[in-house]
Amino acid sequence: MAQSLFLVNIFLFFLAVLLLYHFSNIFRYYFKICVLKVWMLEWSFFLLPVLALRGRNVANMRVLRFIMLPLKHFYGIKINVQGVTNLNLKGPYVVISNLQCSMDLLGIFQVLPKRCTLFVKKEVLYMLTVGVVLWLCGFIFIDHKKEAEAVEIISATEDTMLRDNLRIWVFSEGHRTGESTLEPLQKEAVYLAVKAQVPIIPVVMSSYKPFFNMKTNKFISGDITIKILSPVKTQGLRLGDIPDLTDRVWGTILSNFHELSGEPGEEPSVGKEDSKQAPNY
């Protein structure tokens, strides 16, 4: 009798979850957000001993990419990529992309080039086992509030990327906005590219607002368009050129963001997936 009652309660629980997921936008929003966080946390427990044996290596990004990409199918996110061949440059370079929310990870891992790791805020390092796994994948943690420390980290990154032929992915803003507007470009990425004399590749992800909105608790299936722009050369530029270069790169990202997102006065740009696949490992 007790066992039957237990099974009935389990059935009713899952039935309630299914009904809430289907009929409640708020429940569906927080459920999907929790899935992302739980997915990362649980997998980090399994990955930690495996990656620890391999040591800190950007090649571990292959494993992380394999784990994260299936989430796009769960969320019903279709990712269209334009200009993927612009990532086929030989040698190190700096990728700068706009930052919106956690969904950025799906776009990044869709097009992530070989030997590429990410610049992220230092707080991420303290996210339990997730932070340790990201460290083992070669993530570079930076505190934007401590300028001297940030400069030191950038200088060390410059040496590492040139020595080990790395590509560094940097977000254009210091924190997530969750909106279709963007904040001014951080100069660290441009500073790194000019110091190392390596190209900058701007990458623009369209607004998630049609299917994801934090304020209205909206999280449904939808499309993301990723546009990989032509490389911007830094060879011959000096530190004094950084402000102008920053404005130029920022202007390019902003105009393409509005174009892809179909801002007022402009038609949305919906590109078909390139026939060529993104550079893989």
Confirm if 281 and 109 have CB atoms less than 8 A apart: no
The residue count of the chain comes to 281
Sign of the CA dihedral 178, 179, 185, 190? positive
pTM of structure? 0.85
Share of the chain above pLDDT 90, in %: 67
Confirm if 234 and 193 have CB atoms less than 8 A apart: yes
Q: What is the pLDDT of residue 139?
A: 96
d(CA 144, CA 150): 6
Q: Tell me: pLDDT of 103 over 90.
A: no
Q: Tell me: pLDDT of 172 over 60.
A: yes
Query: 155 or 2: which carries more pLDDT confidence?
Result: 155
Structure-token pair, residue 197: 């004399």
> What is the pLDDT averaged over residues 180-204?
83
Question: Which CATH code fits 1-261?
Answer: 3.40.1130
> How does residue 136 score in pLDDT terms, banded at 50, 70 and 90?
very high
The neighbour count for residue 210, using CB atoms within 10 Å, is: 16
Half-sphere exposure of 248 (CA within 13 A, CB side): 13
Q: What is the pLDDT of residue 129?
A: 94
d(CA 171, CA 203): 10
Residue ranges covered by each domain of the chain: 1-261
Structure-token pair, residue 151: 């400069």
Q: Tell me: pLDDT of 218 over 50.
A: yes
Closest CA to 261 of 200, 182, 202: 182
Q: What is the pLDDT of residue 279?
A: 40
Encode pLDDT of 16-73 as tens digits. 888 888 888 899 999 999 999 999 999 999 999 999 999 999 999 999 999 999 999 9
d(CA 215, CA 21): 18
d(CA 207, CA 107): 12
